[in-house]
Amino acid sequence: MSTIRLDGMSKGFGNGRGIERLDITVDDGEFFVLLGPSGCGKTTALRCIAGLEEPDGGRILLGDRVVADAGRGLFVPPDKRDIGMVFQSYALWPHMTVNDNVAYPLRARRVGREAVGRAVVGALDRVGLAGYGERYPAELSGGQQQRVALARALAASPRLILFDEPLSNLDAQLRARLRQDLHLVHRETRHTAVYVTHDQTEALALADRVAIMKEGRIEQIGSPDAVFRAPRTRFVAEFVGYENRLAARVLSVDGDRAAVALPGVSAPLIARRTGPLEGGRTADLLIRASRIGLAAEPAAGRAEGQPGGSSNGLPVRVEDVSFLGDHHQFRLRTADDAILTANIPAERCTPGLLGAVGATLRAILPADDLVALDAAA
Ligand SMILES: Nc1ncnc2c1ncn2[C@@H]1O[C@H](COP(=O)(O)OP(=O)(O)OP(=O)(O)O)[C@@H](O)[C@H]1O
Ligand SMILES: [Mg+2]
């Protein structure tokens, strides 16, 4: 069983940084992603699992085996953990050819010559480096070296693979292709994987479950769908792409719906609650730029929120519009002087909408896409 259990695992660096009391269980065959901004402790957590750092608190179990226990001073070195690794730095042997680099872990395991040859050719082919086997790492670009490191981890097909931003040096196209490859390989082999990234697209595409990290701690763990749809803190929401935030007052709560009042807007808005929230509290309303709609402001005199006037809307002044390929980005100012960004698909941008700079429109914030969090969350 290739499960991983971190039991209150901590690692400090004497400067107040590192990771604090991580509790994570990764199931056998699961693809687990650690997602978080630079410096939050992702690499440190991975290095502890690999045995490249010794935790100074808590325990690590691989399957039933305790490989680190700070309390008992127990520590199993990396080469006794049977883990494949693809790290941020490629860590290739400079004096070995690509073929030898990829073959290295297999040879160390005394796999037969022919099987090694087949695995190496297959893995290089998979990462788009067929024919590069005789080159040395110094004769490859950074992205190509990264793909060799990836091939090396895939060729050995260990039960447990740790990935530290393995796609970070690749161009967008190759990145997308290798991401798909990784997904496919994982479906075939069902190895247990811990994958570190700060790229939410990678997390969405690859993860069975994702943990969002902040300053050495875990903020939220769940399926990508749960975390992306129902962030429970402002940090998580903003990190997973809820670009817009408005301050509001909670009027009432009914199940997962909350009625909220925005300064300068007469009709209440309905939002979706993802955590504890009570009437009278201040809430952050969060919404993705891609979920905001724009409509003509209803004729003067008609009350907001009434039939005919789009519900869950607020008047906004259009300050700027820029073209970003498949969508136009609108910079909007609310009556309360908050700025909203709305991304409207190009095909839905009428000449009237594009010419609306300076005009007042109605921003539509669908209740299901509008997340309300207690401002203290
Ligand atoms: N060997 C070390 N000595 C001192 N501080 C360290 C050491 N390694 C990491 N840190 C600090 O610990 C924190 C976590 O670092 P870590 O490398 O785990 O972050 P990360 O989430 O992987 O970031 P990135 O996305 O930039 O790779 C950082 O503040 C870092 O400066
Ligand atoms: Mg890192």
**Closest C-alpha to 91, from 130, 43, 57:** 43
- As a whole number, the mean pLDDT across the chain is 91
Q: What is the pTM of this model?
A: 0.88
pLDDT bracket for residue 307 (50, 70, 90): very low
- What pLDDT is stored for residue 305 in this prediction? 40
In angstroms, the CA 121 to CA 102 distance is 9
Q: How far is the CA of 91 from the centre of ligand 1 (A)?
A: 18
- Across 35-62, average pLDDT: 95
- What pLDDT is stored for residue 309 in this prediction? 41
- What pLDDT is stored for residue 296 in this prediction? 87
Q: How far is the CA of 103 from the centre of ligand 2 (A)?
A: 26
Q: What tokens appear for 328 in the block?
A: 């136009």
* Residue 376 buriedness (CB in 10 A; 0-12 / 13-18 / 19+): exposed
Of 59-73, 96-110, 149-163, 310-324, the range with the lowest mean pLDDT is 149-163
pLDDT bracket for residue 311 (50, 70, 90): confident
- The residue whose CA is least distant from atom 27 of ligand 1 is 38
332 contacts 342 by C-beta, under 8 angstroms: yes
- The residue whose CA is least distant from atom 22 of ligand 1 is 43
pLDDT digits (tens, 9 = 90+) for 215-268: 999 999 999 999 999 999 999 999 999 999 999 999 999 999 999 999 988 899
In angstroms, the CA 86 to CA 148 distance is 10
pLDDT bracket for residue 303 (50, 70, 90): very low
- The residue whose CA is least distant from atom 14 of ligand 1 is 41
- Across 6-14, average pLDDT: 94
- What pLDDT is stored for residue 181 in this prediction? 81
Closest ligand to the CA of 35: 1
Q: How far is the CA of 91 from the centre of ligand 2 (A)?
A: 14
pLDDT bracket for residue 302 (50, 70, 90): very low
Q: How far is the CA of 194 from the centre of ligand 1 (A)?
A: 17
- The residue whose CA is least distant from atom 5 of ligand 1 is 13
Q: How far is the CA of 23 from the centre of ligand 1 (A)?
A: 19
In angstroms, the CA 236 to CA 90 distance is 30
Q: What tokens appear for 261 in the block?
A: 């009042």
In angstroms, the CA 305 to CA 251 distance is 16
- Across 345-374, average pLDDT: 94
Q: How far is the CA of 36 from the centre of ligand 1 (A)?
A: 12
pLDDT bracket for residue 301 (50, 70, 90): very low
**Closest C-alpha to 23, from 54, 48, 60:** 60
Atom of ligand 1 nearest to the CA of 213: 21
- The residue whose CA is least distant from atom 16 of ligand 1 is 41
- The residue whose CA is least distant from atom 28 of ligand 1 is 39
Q: Pick 297 or 376 by higher pLDDT.
A: 376
- The residue whose CA is least distant from atom 12 of ligand 1 is 18
203 contacts 197 by C-beta, under 8 angstroms: yes
- Across 276-305, average pLDDT: 83
pLDDT > 90? residue 290: yes
Give the Cα-Cα-Cα angle 98, 184, 124 (nearest 5 degrees): 15
Q: How far is the CA of 339 from the centre of ligand 2 (A)?
A: 33
Pocket residues for ligand 1 (CB within 6 Å)? 13, 15, 17-18, 36, 38-44, 198
Structural domains of the chain in order of their starting residue, each with its CATH number: 4-235 (3.40.50.300), 236-374 (2.40.50.100)
**Among 10, 11, 13, 195, residue to substitute to test ligand 1 (most atoms within 8 Å of Cβ):** 13
Task: Give 90's Cβ-side CA count (13 Å radius).
Answer: 25
Closest ligand to the CA of 44: 1
